[in-house]
């Protein structure tokens, strides 16, 4: 083996410079080919790692809520938030996005008010205070979000409805059914935000009087 190597070296040292240049190019091509193969293997392993991520990391959790508007036979309009998934802590954010009268209105978001669940109240606490913030809703349970309420005395010639949770956003109309008029309404976007759920549940509703003497009417509309 040693004799063979000495013989090859004896012959090669007499090669012209161009042969050495060609040999250098060949060695360089072999090195580049080896490096490219190593890079492909690394990229393939990275792709395999991404493709084998657990389903929880790819698909974000979504809120399983059923939204049911209520306005009949009451002095307020409510949105029932029924939880059809796991127990959650949820808060509501409302925003006025339209007013049928064409008047100006506040466009910033505001916190929604949940109707108090207490039924036993004392003499000095006739009306339970609403709750603003997060509420806990267990599976297959509901909470009521107050959206609008009566803002005028019964029997007054002009009746008013106010949006709950924001100051001085109200509309009025003639209580006399003989008056020709278009009954006013607000368009409200409601966002329900829960801990652990990156995507909020959103819906848009039109709320206003159903007739000049009530009750309210609340219906879902396209966003």
Residue ranges covered by each domain of the chain: 2-56, 65-221
Q: What is the pLDDT of residue 71?
A: 87
**Which string of DSSP letters, residue by residue, matches 177-218?**
TTS--PPP-EEEEEEEEETT-SS-EEEEEEEEESSTT--EEE
d(CA 94, CA 192): 9
Q: What is the pLDDT of residue 21?
A: 60
Q: What is the pLDDT of residue 114?
A: 95
Sequence-separated (6 or more) residues with CB below 8 Å from residue 172: 152, 158, 159, 160, 161, 184
Mean pLDDT by 10 residues, the chain (223 residues): 55 58 64 64 45 49 93 88 96 97 96 79 53 89 95 89 95 90 96 94 96 92 89
Q: Where would I find the H helices in the chain? A: 2-12, 17-51, 55-58
Is there a contact between 160 and 174 (Cβ–Cβ < 8 Å)?
A: no
Q: What is the pLDDT of residue 31?
A: 73
How far the first Cα of the chain sits from its last, in Å, is 84
| Dihedral sign for Cα atoms in the order 208, 222, 101, 79 | positive
pTM of the model: 0.69
> How many whole angstroms from its chain centre is CA 125?
36
Is there a contact between 147 and 188 (Cβ–Cβ < 8 Å)?
A: yes
Q: What is the pLDDT of residue 154?
A: 80
Is there a contact between 140 and 70 (Cβ–Cβ < 8 Å)?
A: no
CA distances from residue 216 to 60, 130, 164, 178, 200 in whole angstroms, order as listed: 37, 20, 14, 19, 27
d(CA 166, CA 190): 14
């Amino acid at each position: 083996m040693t004799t063979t190597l000495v013989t090859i070296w004896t012959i090669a040292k007499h090669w012209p410079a161009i042969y050495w240049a060609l040999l250098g190019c060949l060695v360089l091509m072999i090195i580049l080919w080896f490096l490219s193969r190593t890079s492909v293997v690394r990229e393939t392993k990275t792709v395999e790692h991404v493709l084998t991520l657990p389903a929880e990391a790819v698909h974000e959790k979504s809120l399983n809520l059923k939204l049911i508007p209520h306005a009949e036979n009451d002095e307020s309009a409510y949105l029932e938030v029924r939880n059809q998934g796991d127990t959650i802590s949820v808060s509501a954010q409302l925003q006025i996005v339209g007013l049928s009268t064409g008047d100006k209105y506040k466009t910033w978001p505001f916190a929604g008010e949940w109707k108090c669940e207490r039924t036993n109240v004392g003499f000095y606490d006739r009306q339970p205070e609403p709750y603003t913030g997060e509420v806990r809703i267990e599976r297959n349970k509901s909470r009521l979000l107050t959206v609008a309420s009566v803002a005028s005395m019964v029997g007054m010639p002009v009746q008013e409805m106010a949006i709950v949770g924001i100051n001085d956003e109200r509309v009025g109309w003639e209580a006399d059914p003989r008056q020709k008029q278009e009954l006013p309404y607000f368009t409200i976007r409601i966002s329900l935000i829960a801990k652990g759920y990156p995507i909020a549940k959103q819906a848009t509703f039109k709320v206003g009087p159903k007739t000049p003497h009530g009750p309210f009417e609340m219906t879902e509309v396209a966003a």
